[in-house]
Structure 1
Amino acid sequence: MKIVVVGAAGMVGSRVVTEAVSRGHDLVAVFRTQRPADLPSGVTAVEGEATDTDHMSRLFKDADAIVAATRPAPGHEDTAVPTTTALLDAAAAAGARILVVGGAAPLRIPGHPDRLVLESPDYVPRQFRTLAAASAAQLDVCRAHPADWVYLSPPALLEPGQRTGAYRRGTTTLIADADGTSRISAEDLAVAVLDELENPGGDQHFTVGHQADG
Structure 2
Amino acid sequence: MKIIVLGATGMAGSRVVTEALARGHEVVGVSRHGAPDTPGVTAVSADVTDVERMTSLLAVADAVVCATRPRPGEEHTVPATTAAVLDAAAAAGTRVVVVGGAAPLSSPGRPGLLVLDDPRYVQEAWRDAAVASVEQFRVCEKHSADWVYLSPAAMLEPGERTGRYRRGGTTLVAAPDGTSRISAEDMAVAVLDEIEQPCGQRHLGVGY
TM, length-normalised to structure 2: 0.98
CA distance in 1, matches of 2:35, 2:120: 38
1:73 CA displacement: 1.0
Matched with 2:129 is 131
Q: Residue 149 of structure 1 is aligned with which of 129, 139, 147?
A: 147
CA distance in 1, matches of 2:184, 2:203: 18
Classify the secondary structure of the residue corresponding to 1:28: strand
CA distance in 1, matches of 2:201, 2:21: 25
Amino acid of the structure 2 residue aligned with 1:125: Q
Matched with 2:118 is 120
Amino acid of the structure 2 residue aligned with 1:163: R
1:200 CA displacement: 0.1
Matched with 1:209 is 207
1:50 CA displacement: 1.1
Matched with 1:89 is 87
CA distance in 2, matches of 1:201, 1:162: 24
Amino acid of the structure 2 residue aligned with 1:154: P
1:35 CA displacement: 3.7
Q: Residue 190 of structure 1 is aligned with which of 184, 188, 196?
A: 188
Compute the RMSD of aligned alpha carbons: 0.8
Q: Residue 179 of structure 1 is aligned with which of 177, 189, 196?
A: 177
Counterpart contact for 2:98–2:150, Cα < 8 Å: yes
Unaligned regions of 5+ residues in structure 2, if any? Answer: none
CA distance in 1, matches of 2:182, 2:40: 28
Amino acid of the structure 1 residue aligned with 2:17: V
Matched with 2:18 is 18
Unaligned regions of 5+ residues in structure 1, if any? Answer: none
1:36 CA displacement: 3.7
Counterpart contact for 2:8–2:36, Cα < 8 Å: no
CA distance in 2, matches of 1:196, 1:166: 14
CA distance in 2, matches of 1:173, 1:33: 35
Over residues 68-125 of structure 1, what are the superposed CA-to-partner deviations in whole Å (9 max), with x where a residue is unaligned? Answer: 0001111000010000000000000100000111100010111112100000111000
Between Structure 1 and Structure 2, how many residues are aligned? 208
CA distance in 2, matches of 1:197, 1:113: 30
Amino acid of the structure 2 residue aligned with 1:90: A
Identity of aligned residues (%): 62
1:34 CA displacement: 2.4
Matched with 1:164 is 162
CA distance in 2, matches of 1:66, 1:205: 16
TM, length-normalised to structure 1: 0.96
Structure 1 stretches of 4+ moved >6 Å: none
- 1:3-152 to structure 2, matched below 5 A, reads 3-37=3-37, 39=38, 41-152=39-150
CA distance in 1, matches of 2:7, 2:49: 12
Counterpart contact for 2:20–2:27, Cα < 8 Å: yes
Over residues 20-75 of structure 1, what are the superposed CA-to-partner deviations in whole Å (9 max), with x where a residue is unaligned? Answer: 000000111001112444x1x12100010111111111110121100000011110
CA distance in 2, matches of 1:35, 1:175: 32
Amino acid of the structure 1 residue aligned with 2:131: A
1:138 CA displacement: 0.3
